[in-house]
Amino acid sequence: MTRALLLAAALATGAACTRTTELIADSTATCVAPGPLVHLGGTGGSACAGAIAAQAARYALCSCNDVVLTGNVFVNSFGTSLGRGDQTSSPSPWPDGHPVDGLLPESFFAAIGTDGNWQVLGHADIPGTLVVAGAGDVQFGRPSHILGNARFAGPSSPTSALWISGDAFVASDVTGGVVVGGTLHVPAAATIAASVSARSVAREPVAVAPPCDCAAGHVLDIVTAVLARRTNNANVFLPFSDDVLDDVETPQSLDWPCGEYYLDTLRTGDGGALELRIHGHVGIFVAGDVRLGDTFTVTLDPGSTLDLVVAGSFYTTGHVFGSPTSPARTRLWVGSTTVSLPAQSQFGAFVYAPEADFLAGADLAFSGSLFVGKLSVDGDVHIDYDPALTQAGDECGAAAPAAVE
């Protein structure tokens, strides 16, 4: 009996049956978990997915273009309670919950960077360094905290109070209610308004390099990485047909043995809740768009990782994606122009989409790290950064990247 007939017979025995890998004949897979590492665009150490992710994930958010948000921005280190009342897994590191100059545990580091400008109309809590390489005014609409250093290529002129725990490096004028707990570094000709206070001032040249380094030729060619798997893949060892995810309309739970696999497309309907059970290092390379109509959850064995590499765009109307409790081990790579999420989405992954506009409805709750072309959110942004991402290169034998200072 063929796999398709076997599956049809099993489904016919009960309308409420959930389609799972167990309904399909055993695979002849020879890969033993954790298996070979996943590579993107080559086979050497520099193409190892974990090493690439670790370097890009030095920031909780890195945006190739302007960050313009109408709501508030709350950034936490994963599993901490800074800035959000709904996380109670560990207490604030500051006495009485208030920041104290010089008291910033490394476990709380969660930097943000943009190659463009920064305009946030609400409040921002950033437990780490903020790097803004655009030459426009750095704007905060409500009282905000940068609990590391600040590096601004343009003038700092917040319309409300801005408190910087560490040093500030500003390549232009500083005005408004800015308080710097450390040293304010500015060029000799820069204006420092009387409303600005700092422990000390250093007059010296200041330069701010683009933190995301999104210039042409500096970002990963995801489309080429996917095309390379069209003929060089482990599809023959899958315990199911490689078109099983072309059009999913019923719940499915699928076991993926270690290996790199190629799919033409990945689509699920409103009733197509999908669970991927990952056994070892798994790479799923998708040539077209990914369109999800329901939840997409990832269950990982210890030491396992999933790299979902998409040449097209990524759309989901489901309210759960990835592994929110272990986001460092699910990595989403998108080569086209759009990543679209619904309102109140629970998202757990590292996302690398340097060409894409990352669109989300109201109140984005994101666990992991974002490296995107642009962030567009209707409402507040909550990012729980997982510092374990910077250790992802361990699997490739690569040293962890330097922290953002």
pLDDT tens per residue across span 156-172: 988 889 999 999 999 99
Question: Is the predicted pLDDT of residue 354 greater than 90, yes or no?
Answer: yes
The rounded percent of the chain whose pLDDT value lies above 90 is 68
Which element (helix H / strand E) includes 11?
Answer: helix 3-12
What rounded mean pLDDT belongs to the chain?
A: 85
Q: Average pLDDT for residues 131-137, to the nearest whole number?
A: 97
What confidence score (pLDDT) does residue 365 get? 82
Could you tell me which residue, 242 or 136, shows the higher pLDDT? 136
Question: Is the predicted pLDDT of residue 42 greater than 80, yes or no?
Answer: no
The rounded percent of the chain whose pLDDT value lies above 70 is 85
- What is the DSSP-derived secondary structure letter of residue 395? G
What confidence score (pLDDT) does residue 363 get? 74
Q: Average pLDDT for residues 315-327, to the nearest whole number?
A: 89
What is the CA 10 to chain-centroid distance, rounded?
Answer: 39
Cα(101)–Cα(19) distance, integer angstroms = 56
- Which tokens is 260 given? 């790199």
Question: Is the predicted pLDDT of residue 15 greater than 70, yes or no?
Answer: no
Among 117, 329, 400, 373, which Cα is nearest to 222's? 373
What confidence score (pLDDT) does residue 106 get? 52
What confidence score (pLDDT) does residue 41 get? 79
Q: How confident is the model at residue 13 (pLDDT cuts 50, 70, 90)?
A: very low
What confidence score (pLDDT) does residue 325 get? 81
Cα(325)–Cα(297) distance, integer angstroms = 11
Q: Are 178 and 164 in contact (CB under 8 A)?
A: yes
Q: Average pLDDT for residues 379-393, to the nearest whole number?
A: 90
Q: How confident is the model at residue 326 (pLDDT cuts 50, 70, 90)?
A: confident
Q: Average pLDDT for residues 79-105, to the nearest whole number?
A: 43
Distances (CA, A) of 250 to 7, 147, 264: 13, 47, 20
- What is the DSSP-derived secondary structure letter of residue 22? G
Is-above-0.75 flag for pTM?
A: yes
Q: Are 214 and 64 in contact (CB under 8 A)?
A: yes
- Which tokens is 231 given? 């003929």
What confidence score (pLDDT) does residue 46 get? 83
Q: How confident is the model at residue 344 (pLDDT cuts 50, 70, 90)?
A: confident
Q: Are 118 and 135 in contact (CB under 8 A)?
A: no
Query: Half-sphere exposure of residue 293, counting CA atoms within 13 Å on the CB side?
Result: 13
- Which tokens is 88 given? 């109670």
What confidence score (pLDDT) does residue 324 get? 83
Question: Is the predicted pLDDT of residue 321 greater than 60, yes or no?
Answer: yes
Point out the least confidently predicted range of 97-106, 128-137, 142-151.
97-106
Cα(305)–Cα(302) distance, integer angstroms = 9
Q: How confident is the model at residue 93 (pLDDT cuts 50, 70, 90)?
A: very low
- What is the DSSP-derived secondary structure letter of residue 78? T
Q: Average pLDDT for residues 277-288, to the nearest whole number?
A: 97
Sheet holding 139-140, edge to edge: 67-69, 118-120, 139-140
What confidence score (pLDDT) does residue 78 get? 66
Question: Is the predicted pLDDT of residue 49 greater than 90, yes or no?
Answer: yes
What confidence score (pLDDT) does residue 105 get? 52
Among 111, 2, 116, 117, which Cα is nearest to 64's? 116
Could you tell me which residue, 135 or 45, shows the higher pLDDT? 135
Q: Average pLDDT for residues 367-384, to the nearest whole number?
A: 92
Q: Residue 211 contacts by C-beta under 8 Å, 6 or more apart in sequence? A: 59, 62, 111, 113, 114, 115, 131, 133, 404
Question: Is the predicted pLDDT of residue 400 greater than 60, yes or no?
Answer: yes
What confidence score (pLDDT) does residue 12 get? 36
Q: How confident is the model at residue 25 (pLDDT cuts 50, 70, 90)?
A: very low
Q: Which bin fits 371, alpha (ψ -120 to 50), beta or left (φ > 0)?
A: beta
Q: Are 141 and 120 in contact (CB under 8 A)?
A: yes
Question: Is the predicted pLDDT of residue 19 greater than 50, yes or no?
Answer: no
Q: How confident is the model at residue 99 (pLDDT cuts 50, 70, 90)?
A: very low
What confidence score (pLDDT) does residue 23 get? 35
Could you tell me which residue, 31 or 339, shows the higher pLDDT? 339
Q: How confident is the model at residue 305 (pLDDT cuts 50, 70, 90)?
A: very high
